[in-house]
Structure 1
Amino acid sequence: MDDMTRTKLSADTILDHAAALITAGEPLTFSTLARALGSRSQALYNYYPNQAALTDALCARNLHWLVPRLQKALFGLSGRAALTQLALTCRTSGLAHFRLTQFTLAHVHQDNAPATAGAMTDLRTLINQLIQSTPADAATQIVGERMLRNLIVGEIFNVGTGWFDDPAMSAEESFRQMVDQCLAPLFPEQ
């Protein structure tokens, strides 16, 4: 490896190119990544010891990218409005980066993924804080949180793959209605 290649590579550059490969529908391997970087695959081992470490870093970065966007979108909101905005922001972000979101969701629970686990904790903490501020009892909160997460992930997958293409109602409008129905038990007096 020459010095010029060594100075061009960085962990962020590698992750940028990895994300670009996934977005383009290309397989993410050290070989394809090295070709995209104009390098050799051996050079990547200086930054990531194996494919699992690379995947962990990329998934963690994707999740860490989402949390501040959610915080910004939720600023000044509380209760039902905050949970609705959280769902809409996750949907919009997930669909805008569908293949990367799909990749992250597929790898988020892999063993030996400490960076991803930390990023998931940050996301779960944000969601839990919003759910726990609802007037519903603890069991209803648990079910509501699970329904909301399932709804968001299902929406991203189904819209991203074209399953929710119906001229009778837009996918976004049906999602808003489903979120409203999902949140109703968490806010019984509204």
Structure 2
Amino acid sequence: MTARTLSKEKVITAAIQIINQEDNLTFSKLGRLVGTRSQAIYNYFPDVLAVRVSVAADFYDKLAQRLEVDLLGLTGKQAIKAFCHVCVQFSLGQYVMVQQIIDIPADHLHDEPLNSSFRNIYEILHRYLKPLIPDEKRQMVFSRMLRNLIIGQIINVGSGRYTNTPISKRDSFDDMLELILLSL
């Protein structure tokens, strides 16, 4: 591959491949994988952290696409339950990637493409909360509760917790989700 065929998208795809192999992401490894010198990548990204931020935006874009497909035709509490389950399953299926996203320092999370990608997911959730909760403050509280439940489930299940309990991971998640939705 020559420098003329290099693109941000190719670098992001290569970065995803490296991350999924649980290898350290470096410009040298990216360069080898895309068939160019590592210095050429600096034309697209200033550092590895910027690549990781773009990978995170790509992850959220793919999650939003999956949500749009899987929630099609659903409404109300059924849609909210499906939203939560899709987020958890999608993320657990790519847990190594999720770990990389969680590890991005907070001062790098204000990247506009990343914010836009995450905002799409937030808007999908609010599309289903608005008809059930007219008050904006309450919507925000429910949104935060649901996101905390989702993130907690991803981290705990992904890191191997909840393995020796008398209730399955899925059943306990469903019970917690049901408790939240009972207050709607």
TM-score (normalizing by structure 1): 0.86
CA shift, 1:93, in A, is 0.2
CA shift, 1:166, in A, is 2.3
Query: Sequence identity, in percent?
Result: 31
State whether structure 2 residue 131 is matched by structure 1 residue 118.
Answer: no
Letter in 2 for 1:91: V
| Mapped contact 1:136–1:185 kept (Cα < 8 A) | no
CA shift, 1:9, in A, is 2.9
Letter in 2 for 1:169: I
- Structure 2: any 5+ residue segments left out of the alignment? none
1:42 maps to what in 2? Answer: 39
> Given the superposition, is the C-alpha separation of residues 99 and 76 from structure 1 closer, same or farther in structure 2, using an over 3 Å criterion?
same
1:155 maps to what in 2? Answer: 153
> Given the superposition, is the C-alpha separation of residues 34 and 126 from structure 1 closer, same or farther in structure 2, using an over 3 Å criterion?
same
Cα deviation 1:89-148 (Å, max 9, x = unaligned): 001100000111222233384255121011111111111221222146444322211110
2:97 maps to what in 1? Answer: 100
State the distance in 2 between where 1:124 and 1:82 align.
Answer: 14
Partner-residue secondary structure (3-state), 2:152: helix
State whether structure 2 residue 41 is matched by structure 1 residue 24.
Answer: no
State the distance in 2 between where 1:85 and 1:157 align.
Answer: 19
Letter in 1 for 2:116: G
155-164 or 121-130, which deviates more: 121-130
Cα deviation 1:31-88 (Å, max 9, x = unaligned): 2322333432102122223334322221111111111110111111111000000000
1:83 maps to what in 2? Answer: 80
Partner-residue secondary structure (3-state), 1:107: coil
- Structure 1: any 5+ residue segments left out of the alignment? none
2:127 maps to what in 1? Answer: 129
TM-score (normalizing by structure 2): 0.89
State the distance in 2 between where 1:19 and 1:132 align.
Answer: 35
| Mapped contact 1:53–1:113 kept (Cα < 8 A) | no
State the distance in 2 between where 1:105 and 1:182 align.
Answer: 25
State the distance in 2 between where 1:76 and 1:13 align.
Answer: 34
| Mapped contact 1:144–1:185 kept (Cα < 8 A) | no
